Amino acid sequence: MESKKVLFISQEITPYLPESEISLIGRNLPQGIQDKGKEIRTFMPRFGCINERRNQLHEVIRLSGMNLIIDDTDHPLIIKVASIQAARMQVYFIDNDEYFQRKSMLKDTKGILCKDNDERVIFFARGVIETVKKLQWAPDLIHCQGWFTSLVPLYIKKFYHDDPLFMDSSVVTSIYDYDFQGSLDNRMIQKLVWDGIDIKDMEVIKTPNYINLIKLAIKFSDGLIMGSEKISGDVQQFASKSDLPILEYQPENEYVEAYSDFYDKILSEVVDGAK
């Protein structure tokens, strides 16, 4: 039987970024799922604080060169890749000189959210999907981790839903106790409308703060995983009302097995629904 394909899209992965709840799972989960016989691809943003020389990142010329239009402006898409030898795993990085060269992740040197984080999130989501299209690799399941990936479910379900590579893809979102204060640019919806997404599908992010971005991801996902032991009460309540399959928090020594079983459950429901 052909092995299932799982696309991991993570906000953070160690050793490229410091260890955190998200980055550790971003590093260890794909390896564990690969060891269980599934085919994987892994993506993350190429934040400017990542040391390219130390981590041996190099550009993939055949995948780079596309321009993504955001708010009527062209932005070149650069794809880089590095290998985690111990895991027999490659990590693809979404890069752009304007969005990802600054020596920080999500905040400026004063600790304030970068003003263009809304466009960076849009660019990252579209960049991953367009790169997977170039790879001609059809994922059975897409696992999103971290609020920086929150637009991926929306794009998969509302913009790329007719694309043969993604029309059968299921989306799982991990929710973490990892938020930010304040809001992204209030014009975020208008920038997404430019991509042809119906404004009615995005009403929840009229104020694009952390909780509303997570709610948007939940709205267009097929399953949810509680990645942190404690989750915001508002998000927890919204998730519970979604009627989606939910995997509760799993301890470190058990989550690979539990996540793998959860993927299989989601995928089996797709098969049953197609009958």
Q: What is the DSSP letter of 67?
A: E
- pLDDT tens column, 228-237: 999 988 999 9
Give the pLDDT confidence of 142-201 residue by residue, as tens digits.
999 999 999 999 999 999 999 999 999 999 999 999 888 899 999 999 999 877 889 999
CA distance 55 to 238: 39
At 273 the pLDDT is 54
Residue 180's domain is classified under what CATH number? Answer: 3.40.50.2000
Q: What's the pLDDT tens digit per position in 253-271?
A: 999 999 999 999 999 986 5
- Whole-number CA gyration radius for the chain: 17
Amino acid at 203: E
Q: What SS3 string covers 109-131?
A: CCCCECCCHHHHHHHHHHHHHHH
Give the total number of structural domains in the chain: 1
CA–CA dist 239, 233 (Å, integer) = 10
Give the range of the structural domain holding residue 56, as residue numbers without chain letter.
Answer: 5-274
Q: Burial level of 165, CB count in 10 A (0-12/13-18/19+)?
A: middle
CA-CA-CA-CA dihedral for 86, 104, 70, 62, to nearest 10: -30
